[in-house]
């Protein structure tokens, strides 16, 4: 305001006010210079409103980018999950079909479909029907030496649920034929001892009495255990087929 008043006095008073008051002139000049500098400084700066709108635009852009990224991730996960579901369905259907085919093949084999009658290691007469379920059985192929007391001693070295079975040579031979087991005693030596040449197999039979699998000496205990677990998981009772 001081600079403006000095300019007005200079215009209407013919300059007398400025000449008579030199210190006011200096103040006016100084005030005018400061005002000019302030105007120049303000002209060199960007408008505040522009800076405020720019920061808002950047925030909106960042939020939009995050939303797009989240959308893409969600779509990708949904698509991948859908593919996995389709793959699992096709795989399950294929496995089920293979199990059904194998079940039909095993039924045609008719291995172990007969009924044996033998003595267990406690001297009790047992038949195949007594063991329909999950019973481990050991059937000797040497009934002449593997009598009831011998079997009782033998099964102690295995699982407590293992049942040893023996009988007359004719009964044992009939059970062997039913499971297609080969056994032939060799010649006796001077002490009356002999070696029996026989098939070495472990048969896995379902609770329904159906042959499921077999294991020879080429299979180790881990492979046998894994195979048995797979059969247990995938077992389908005959009543459900």
SS3 53: helix
Q: Which residues pair with 118 in a beta bridge?
A: 126
Would you tell me how many other CB atoms lie within 10 Å of the CB of residue 131? 18
Residue 7 has what pLDDT? Answer: 38
Q: How far apart are CA 58 and CA 173, in angstroms?
A: 90
Residue 121 annotated as binding site: no
Q: Which one is predicted more confidently, 6 or 132?
A: 132
Q: Whole-prediction pTM value? A: 0.50
pLDDT of residue 131: 83
Largest CA distance in the chain: 159
Four-point Cα dihedral 187, 193, 198, 200, nearest 10 = -160
Q: Which one of 83-87, 114-118, 163-167 scores highest in mean pLDDT?
A: 163-167
Residue 207's DSSP bridge partners are none
Mean pLDDT for 222-238 is 85
Task: Name the token pair of 199.
Answer: 């098939």
Closest CA to 211 of 185, 191, 181, 182: 181
Handedness of CA 58, 59, 62, 68 (dihedral sign): negative
Q: Is the pLDDT of residue 96 over 50?
A: yes
pLDDT in tens, 33-61: 444 444 444 455 555 554 544 455 566 67
Residues 6+ apart with CB under 8 A from 103: 210, 236, 241
Report the pLDDT value the prediction gives residue 109, as an integer from 0 to 100: 66
Distances (CA, A) of 34 to 2, 6, 27: 12, 15, 10
What separation in angstroms does the CA of 189 have from each of 142, 144, 165, 185, 186?
16, 15, 26, 12, 9
- Over residues 137-151, the mean pLDDT reads 93
């Amino acid at each position: 305001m001081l600079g403006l008043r000095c300019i007005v006095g200079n215009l209407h008073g013919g300059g007398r006010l400025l000449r008579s008051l030199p210190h006011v002139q200096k103040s006016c000049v100084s005030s005018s210079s400061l005002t000019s500098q302030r105007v120049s400084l303000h002209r060199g700066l960007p408008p505040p409103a522009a800076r405020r709108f720019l920061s808002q635009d950047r925030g909106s852009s960042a939020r939009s980018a995050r939303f797009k990224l989240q959308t893409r991730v969600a779509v990708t996960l949904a698509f991948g999950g859908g593919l996995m579901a389709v793959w699992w369905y096709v795989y399950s259907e294929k496995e089920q079909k293979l199990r059904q085919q194998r079940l039909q093949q095993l039924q045609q084999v008719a291995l172990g479909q007969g009924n044996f009658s033998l003595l267990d290691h406690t001297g009790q007469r047992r038949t195949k029907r007594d063991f329909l379920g999950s019973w481990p059985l050991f059937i000797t192929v040497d009934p002449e030496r593997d009598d009831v007391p011998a079997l009782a001693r033998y099964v102690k070295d295995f699982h407590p649920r293992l049942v040893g079975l023996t009988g007359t040579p004719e009964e044992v031979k009939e059970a062997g034929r039913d499971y297609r087991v080969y056994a032939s005693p060799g010649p006796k030596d001077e002490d009356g001892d002999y070696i029996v040449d026989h098939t070495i197999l472990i048969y896995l039979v379902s609770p329904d009495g159906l042959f499921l699998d077999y294991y020879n000496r080429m299979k180790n205990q881990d492979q046998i255990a894994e195979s048995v677990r797979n059969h247990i998981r995938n077992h389908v009772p005959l009543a459900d087929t």
